[in-house]
């Protein structure tokens, strides 16, 4: 999708009309076709200047319109009768976002003001018609009255527009080296979920820092993060291993449960950690699919002294002791498929738990005490 030739990018609406992008290094074409492949309309996307290259990277379609994002190298970009000027020096890549109605008329076309390169990667629309663009930038970028400054090389940006194209908020995150974004999802409340990869030695978000387990700058770890509807940093999770780990996609359902996909590489040996799950690859690149619980936004602490389990391994009956207990705690036990088996309020520091009626295997216990969540593995054998 990053090719200058604009390899076909297709979106489908509720009436099974298709919207596709194709073209040459200087002109891209957006086509709308019926289910029988008859051409309904087309719109050209052109650039001007010594370096001309429109790159449409994502198309989103719903009943409110057609939305595009990407980047362009030329001195200007034109869709229909709307034109924007490249704000970057020496015609570096400049992001754009456009909204068209379902008849192909351009409603608005926007870009950021930047001192270096920037790109739009994904565009999504929420239930209220607000438009979200996820991308990457280096140095600094301005969206209306919001100024973002990179923490190093390329950082992610996420900007929220209203249905008329006015910026509501803009945010950025990243480490000191390159950090790339892959996909974006929006829940029913307007919370936004981002999956990407960081090559930096560490990545800090929502007062949580994850270190890159691989050879940073050469190998990436995966991050999954959430902003709330107001653009506040909510939480971050990582997928870490010694090799190169990549995120490919993210989705969220009506319960707030988040699903992510990607690939892990274990050619350097070792395992890949995904929360409390350990993934062992086949020796090259392996696919992974994971579900994050809807309560993932709580402040999780993984210190061994927070929750003591004994005996472990066990025969299905074990004790837990909760350190620094402040009031009642909620205790839950899950199987490896995410099914909740036990849920109870813990009134004392020490409690006996019986899961012996379940099959032998690996289970997870989660204890919520105030704003702290402790999760550990149970081995029933």
Q: What is the pLDDT of residues 233-260, one digit of tens each?
A: 999 998 877 778 889 999 998 767 899 9
CA dihedral 238, 243, 246, 251 (to 10 degrees): -40
Q: Where are the domains of the chain?
A: 9-299, 300-380
What pLDDT was estimated at residue 298? 38
What is the structure's pLDDT at 297? 42
More confident residue, 92 or 158: 158
Given a cut of 50, whether residue 303 has pLDDT beyond it is no
CB atoms within 10 A of CB 283: 10
CATH topology of domain 300-380: Immunoglobulin-like (2.60.40)
Q: Identify the residue with better confidence: 295 or 31.
A: 31
- For residue 4, what pLDDT is reported? 35
Average pLDDT over residues 340-357: 88
Closest C-alpha to 183, from 121, 262, 120: 121
Q: What is the mean pLDDT of the chain?
A: 85
**Which CATH number applies to 9-299: 1.10.15, 2.120.10, 2.40.10, 3.90.1420?**
2.120.10
Q: 16-20, 341-345, 351-355: which has the minimum mean pLDDT? A: 341-345
- Mean pLDDT along residues 86-92: 73
Longest CA pairwise span in the chain (Å): 73
* Sign of the dihedral defined by the CA atoms of residues 23, 10, 97, 136, in that order: negative
Cα(206)–Cα(323) distance, integer angstroms: 25
- Check pLDDT > 90 for residue 355: yes
What pLDDT, on a 0 to 100 scale, did the predictor assign at position 301? 42
Across the range 81-100, mean pLDDT stands at 87
Instruction: Give the predicted TM-score (pTM) of the model.
Output: 0.74
pLDDT digits (tens, 9 = 90+) for 1-46: 333 334 467 899 999 999 999 887 778 999 999 999 999 999 999 9
pLDDT tens digits, residue range 181-213?
999 999 888 999 999 999 998 999 998 898 887
């Amino acid at each position: 999708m990053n090719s200058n030739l604009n390899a076909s990018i297709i979106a489908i609406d509720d009436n099974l009309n298709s919207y596709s992008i194709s073209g040459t290094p200087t002109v891209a074409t957006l086509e709308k076709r019926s289910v029988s492949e008859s051409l309904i309309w087309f719109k050209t996307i052109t650039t001007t200047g010594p370096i001309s290259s429109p790159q449409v990277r994502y198309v989103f379609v719903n009943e409110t319109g057609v939305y595009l994002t990407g980047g362009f190298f030329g001195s200007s970009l034109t869709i229909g009768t709307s034109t924007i000027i490249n704000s970057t020096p020496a015609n570096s890549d400049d992001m754009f976002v456009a909204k068209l109605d379902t008849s192909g008329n351009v409603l608005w076309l926007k870009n950021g003001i930047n001192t270096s390169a920037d790109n739009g990667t994904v565009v999504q629309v929420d239930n209220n018609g607000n438009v979200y663009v996820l991308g990457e930038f280096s140095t600094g970028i301005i969206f209306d009255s919001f100024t973002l400054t990179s923490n190093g090389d390329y950082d992610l940006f996420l900007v929220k527009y209203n249905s008329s194209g006015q910026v509501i908020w803009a945010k950025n995150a990243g480490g000191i080296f390159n950090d790339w974004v892959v996909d974006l999802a929006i829940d029913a409340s307007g919370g936004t979920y981002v999956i990407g990869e960081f090559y930096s030695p560490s990545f800090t978000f929502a007062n949580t820092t994850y270190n890159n387990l691989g050879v940073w700058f050469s190998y990436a770890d995966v991050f999954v993060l959430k902003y709330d509807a107001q653009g506040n940093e909510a939480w971050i999770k990582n997928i870490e291993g010694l090799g190169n780990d990549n995120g490919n996609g993210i989705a969220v359902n009506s319960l707030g449960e988040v699903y992510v996909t990607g690939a892990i590489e274990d050619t350097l040996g070792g395992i890949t950690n995904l929360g409390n799950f350990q993934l062992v690859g086949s020796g090259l690149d392996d696919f992974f699919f994971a579900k994050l619980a809807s309560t993932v936004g709580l402040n999780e602490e993984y210190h061994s002294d927070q929750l003591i389990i004994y005996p472990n391994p066990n025969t299905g009956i074990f004790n837990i002791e909760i350190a620094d207990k402040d009031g009642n705690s909620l205790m839950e036990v899950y199987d490896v498929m995410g099914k909740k088996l036990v849920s109870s309020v813990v009134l004392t520091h020490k409690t006996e738990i019986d899961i012996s009626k379940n099959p032998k295997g690996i289970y997870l216990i989660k204890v919520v005490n105030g704003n702290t969540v402790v999760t550990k593995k149970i081995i029933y054998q």
